[in-house]
Amino acid sequence: MGRWPTGCGNGGQCLADLLVRPGHSVRCRQRSAPRCRSQTPGHQSRPYLDSGGACLMAALRLLLGIDYGTKQIGVAVGQAITGQARELCTLKAQNGVPDWDKVQALINEWKPDAIVVGLPLNMDGTPSEMSARAEKFSRKLNGRFGVTVYTHDERLTTFEAKGERIARGGQKGSYRDNPVDAIAAALLLQGWLDEHPELLNV
């Protein structure tokens, strides 16, 4: 599955200095951090770059997962050493824009080594309007906080999150009043961790 780092890893060229889109580039905000070279292409439907090695992965310990939405943004936390993720909280958003002070507070509290943002691709794997907005949000996270950001295919995670809520005893009230976004964030982060079992051996 495609994912793309926008921060820096260990050794080599800064990942954020590489092309993010054809004809565009992002400069690294973490000049004091060790750096890692990207080696292999990511998902073909999204022209981002994969880390392609263990140098960046070796630095990952704690991660935040984000289920991006225009009205609500789910947040989850996961540990590479256990390979487990759990829901954390849900942030309110206005047309996809969160309270950045609350995002800053979360990052200050948890000090994640990386953030995984869900990409709501179309069912055929092509980019959607929302996946484009999620990509833009990911770049803003990197630009504001200098943290490594990956994206992960989150197709069907909201559907699975609703099923998880039902399995836990059912939905009480509307999904607006009792959102499942944090559960969806945990599911997508768990999916990302499951795709990187090498982290368990670091």
Residue 168, pLDDT score: 52
Residue 72, pLDDT score: 94
Strand pairing class (19-21; 148-153): unpaired
Q: pLDDT tens digits, residue range 148-200?
A: 999 988 876 554 544 554 455 554 444 454 568 888 899 999 999 988 888 76
Write down the pTM of the prediction.
0.67
Structure tokens at 101: 């002070």
Q: pLDDT tens digits, residue range 183-195?
A: 889 999 999 998 8
C-alpha pair distances (Å), 121 with each of 1, 48, 134: 12, 14, 10
Q: pLDDT tens digits, residue range 5-39?
A: 333 333 333 333 332 333 333 333 333 333 333 33
Residue with tokens 């984000």: 66
Residue 3, pLDDT score: 41
Contact, 36 vs 8, CB < 8 A? yes
**59-201 CATH:** 3.30.420.140
First-to-final CA distance of the chain: 21
Residue with tokens 């991660």: 63
Nearest to 9 by CA among 180, 149, 136: 149
Q: Report helix, strand or coil for 84.
A: strand
Contact, 163 vs 59, CB < 8 A? no
Residue 71, pLDDT score: 94
